[in-house]
Structure 1
Amino acid sequence: MAGPTTAKRGATTSPSGPPPPPSGARRFRLPRPRLRRPGRRGVIIIAVLAALLGGFAAWVLYGSNWLRLESVRATGTDVLTPQEVVAAASAPLHTPLASVDTDAVERRLLARLPRLKRVEVTRSWPHTLGLEVTERTPKLLLQTNGKFVEVDSEGVRFATVARAPKGVPLLKMTVSDTPGLRRFGTGRLLRAAVAVAQDLPAAVRPEVRTVRVRSYDSITLELAGGRTVLWGSREQGAEKAKVLAALLKAARDARHFDLSVPSAPAVSGS
């Protein structure tokens, strides 16, 4: 006869927790709380409050004097002055700052001041418009009628000045009316010359006085002291720059350098 602690055959026991409900027992769940939807009156009140808030926000932005444009500030200038940039922007003072068309201000600046390469117009709440500008930098100069036209790294002629900026080479286009000129065009030859000026080693740039273009494959540099460098085309510019820097150190008395084939440079006139 089994004792009182003997388990029935096939029965399972749980180490902890309440015993499972008996077979066939029904489960009961507590009812979930239901959110009450606002009535018609509540909906009307919410709509009226939202309209009032929206109207107040619109009045603050466009009707009040709290957020009006009172000052315009320009930064990033070098040759130009901040006053010139602000004047060219023609921003509508004493109007709501939110209504200022920043894209229109940017277009006006780029159209009126060709020296500017990029313009970023930002609102600085509550009363200021910021103009962050980037000026074009001359890489070459074209001389015409006693003045100098500045050409940037993109080949853009952006300004005419009475004095040549220090350290900027003069570009001389001595291209005859040849099939090569008709094929490449003056614009492409100009960009090729700018690319050569860009590729020059930093230590050599102050020595360059003139970049002379005879054809797309015949670009020559005239350095201080009467030295000349036959660069050839704009191709392999980085390699030619390294070779030129090395030759100027190794052959200090040389007068002529031929880099048209950088893997086989030539030096003469020492």
Structure 2
Amino acid sequence: MTQTRGWRLVLAPRDAPQSVRRFAKRARQRRLRAALPWLVALAVAALLGAAAVVVFATPVLGVERIDVAGVSTLSAGAVRRAAGVPDGTPLARVDLRAVERRVRQLKPVRTVAASADFPHTLRLRIEERTAVAAVVKVGGFVLLDAEGVGYLPVEAAPAGLPVLRLADPEPGDATTMAALTVLAALPPFLRAVMTALVAESPTRIRLELTGSRTVVWGDATENEAKVRVLEFTQIAPGRTLDVSAPGVVVER
């Protein structure tokens, strides 16, 4: 039978020869050097584990403040409530994309960016919608942005904001988008005398002007040509000018 010789490290007795003690010392040093990387790795792993527990499972680095910037229509409190992040929630565990989705449910919010600012602050940067018109509604108005989103009820149309009459303004709605296209094409001289832009369908748009005057606009095409006609045409009070086909203008 073949025997396998096993080696083991033992301490040399005090009365052992000097050469034996030196050999034993060098052996211990080699063994310690071999084990040192593993000891360091275990220590680092232990530290990382403890740090992870502190960061992800305790309120030591929890949310103490939600900083809201960019709001004027909304209150910072309304945004914080929509964010839905309780005090003390570990900041590293906050799902920033989920927070953004919840805040975007507030209609006045056009965009939102959430970020973590350690150790204790959640930052929310808001871009609110900008009104381009006020749409007549029962009991007041609703502010409408350039994307066709009605986002804020108001009792009265803000000064200087055009008034639209639309049955059901919605983003992507053909009538809403046609009305916004025409509105964007109107120069200041028309906006100054317009009391309302009425859109009954994408092809039935008209301008109501001061002095009981009306401009039949038609659809949202040839807007520049229609504007040029109105630059050089006077409309008498109580009269209607049809520029829906700008090459053939009809007054009645």
Is the TM value for this pair above 0.5? Answer: yes
Secondary structure at the counterpart of residue 61 of structure 2? coil
Partners of 2:250 and 2:36 in 1: CA distance: 93
1:92–1:100: 8 Å Cα contact kept in structure 2? no
SS in 2 for 1:139: strand
CA distance in 2, matches of 1:65, 1:215: 57
Q: 1:120 to 1:47 in 2, by over 3 A?
A: same
Quote the residue 1:144 is aligned against.
137
**Whole-angstrom CA distance in 1 between matches of 2:225 and 2:87:** 54
Q: 1:66 to 1:205 in 2, by over 3 A?
A: farther
CA distance in 2, matches of 1:74, 1:265: 55
The alignment partner of 2:216 has SS state of strand
Are the equivalent residues in 1 in contact too, given 2:226–2:244 (CA < 8 A)? Answer: no
Cα distance in structure 1, aligned partners of 2:189 and 2:72: 23
Amino acid at match of 2:235: A
Report the CA distance shift for 1:145/1:55 in structure 2 as closer, same or farther (over 3 A): same
Find out whether 1:210 has 2:205 as its counterpart. Answer: no
Match of 2:103 in 1: 109
Contact 1:200 1:241 in 2 (8 A): no
Aligned match of 1:47: 41
> In the alignment, is residue 122 of structure 1 matched against residue 115 of structure 2?
yes
Q: Are positions 1:162 and 2:155 aligned together?
A: yes
Q: Is the 8 A contact 1:254 1:267 kept in 2?
A: no
* CA 207–39 in structure 1, closer or farther in 2 if over 3 Å, else same: farther
Amino acid at match of 1:74: V
Between the aligned residues of both structures, percent identity stands at 34
CA contact (8 A) 2:175 2:200 kept: no
Within the alignment, does 1:94 sit opposite 2:88 as a pair? yes
More divergent stretch after superposition (116-125 vs 62-71) = 62-71
Paired residue for 1:243? 228
| CA offsets 1:10-48 (integer angstroms, 9 cap, x no match) | xxxxxxxxxxxxxxxxxxxxxxxxxxxx97524422421
Q: How does 1:1-270 map to 2 (within 5 A)?
A: 40-63=34-57, 66-111=60-105, 113-173=106-166, 187-202=173-188, 204-237=190-223, 239-240=224-225, 243=228, 247-248=230-231, 250-251=232-233, 253-255=234-236, 258-262=242-246, 264=247, 266=249
RMSD over aligned CA atoms reads 3.2
What code does the residue aligned with 1:243 have?
Answer: R
Distance 1:47 1:267, change over 3 A: same
* 1:180-231 superposed Cα distances (whole Å, 9 cap, x missing partner): xxxxxx9311221122222323554343321112432231112334343332
CA distance in 2, matches of 1:204, 1:87: 43
Offset at residue 70 of structure 1 (A):
0.8
Instruction: Count matched residues.
Output: 215
Unaligned runs of 5+ in 2: 1-31
For 1:159, give the aligned amino acid: L
Unaligned runs of 5+ in 1: 1-37, 175-185
